[in-house]
Amino acid sequence: MLVVLHRTAFGLYLYAVGKNEEAARFSGIRTGRVIICAYVICAGLTALSSIFLAMYTRSILPSSHGNFYELYAIAAAVLGGFSLRGGEGSIIGVVLGTILLQVLQNLVNLLGIPSSLNFAVSGSVILIGVLADQEYTEFRKRRELMRGRLATAEGRL
């Protein structure tokens, strides 16, 4: 996936559509096709991982397996640096976010926190990650604005 996202036209189109769909459309990218391809790839990978999970657990009971896996996936992506607004992030960040989330879950178990609070801890981590992403985005905007003002002031001198 790393090669596909960074070394192919499809990966660049995917980042462009994720960042700003309207601008990508105006630049000549067929945004509808890119979005459909992204959903098809996601569905295929989901089916493949479901088959692997069924083979690993030797069971296909929806009531006992796969509960709240989407919460863990979102938490890992947010912790890994993906923006929920789209267009930002990396595969390596998701791997690191997954490792961090697993360490947090193990820490919850080691500290003796009841397992019923495991989802509350994951939700709190997602919330903190989203707030940190928002603050970082605002910080970058302020920094770019200040750089622009400094460049303008230096040009006038």
Q: How confident is the model at residue 43 (pLDDT cuts 50, 70, 90)?
A: very high
Going from the C-alpha of 108 to that of each of 101, 104, 105, the distances in angstroms are: 11, 6, 5
Dihedral Cα 37, 39, 40, 41, nearest 10 deg? 80
Going from the C-alpha of 154 to that of each of 59, 73, 146, 150, the distances in angstroms are: 68, 47, 12, 6
- pLDDT tens readout for residues 98-112: 898 888 888 888 888
pLDDT of residue 64: 66
- What is the arithmetic mean of pLDDT over 2-24? 87
Q: Is the dihedral of CA 95, 98, 104, 106 positive or negative?
A: negative
Which of 19-33, 74-88, 103-117, 125-139 has maximum average pLDDT?
A: 19-33
Q: Whole-number mean pLDDT of the chain? A: 83
- In angstroms, the CA 110 to CA 6 distance is 39
| Closest to 42 measured CA to CA, from 31, 34, 54 | 34
- pLDDT tens readout for residues 72-108: 888 888 888 777 766 677 788 888 888 988 888 888 8
pLDDT of residue 75: 81
Q: How confident is the model at residue 33 (pLDDT cuts 50, 70, 90)?
A: very high
